[in-house]
Structure 1
Amino acid sequence: MSQTTLGDDELFGEAAEEMRADVEEHLDQARAELPAAADVWETEADNVLGVLNGLRSALDAGDAEEHLRQAKKWYTMGERADAFEDAADLAAAIEDLESLIDAIGEAHDDVSDLTNAIPELRGSLQEFEDEETEE
């Protein structure tokens, strides 16, 4: 084996370690952006709209999607370069995090829909009650 090949293999090994570290770092940063379970569950609102607004805010995943995207990018590069000896743990972590972020996004959308619908429904009910009182 020539000196160049040994140096290239060593550099490739270092690059693979750095790539794995980048993936792990972005996964950690994505996890840190996720809402806390208590923030999604507990509330101190005075009415339903306050609860919904608080929940909608709590369901903000911040930059988790961007960090996940970066993790997936570096993971894909490492996989294609066959740089990882065993990357099953990274693949599983990416998949789990992606599913969780998708679920948070769907819940956020559902709560947003309710947040918009409840005031309209309240207004309609109030009008109905007022009409009933007038008769």
Structure 2
Amino acid sequence: MKVLRYLTSVCIALVLAGCQSSNVESTSTQNYLSELDKVAPNHAFMTKWIAQARQEKCAAPYTIEALKQLSESDPMVVIGASFRESIPRSEFPTYLTAMKQSFDCDSEQWIKRFKQYLGACCKKLDRG
């Protein structure tokens, strides 16, 4: 009987552990982003933003390994960080909206869609 209770407790614990929210940052991801923020705050912001978007829309993992890969090799992190660095803070939300609207799990497709979205926005402004 004790073994059955023990196994039941273990099973319940495993089920509950599997139900925990997957978007909760672990200490290691928080530490990584904190260290990155010290040297490249715009890059850290975009790494976190894109990692969260990919977790939500692409079922990508939100782990230290995923953050490092994004930070080191994803062109949209570089593009977003460049915009955040070079344009006035008050205008950045417009570009972030464009990134949200053009989002694609594939970075190369995302870049194409982002360019198209910005091009369409600029044409509307030129006509106005």
TM-score for both structures, normalised by structure 2: 0.29
TM-score for both structures, normalised by structure 1: 0.28
Which structure's CA Rg is the greater one?
1
Give the number of the structure with larger relative contact order, counting CA–CA contacts within 8 Å between residues 6 or more apart: 1
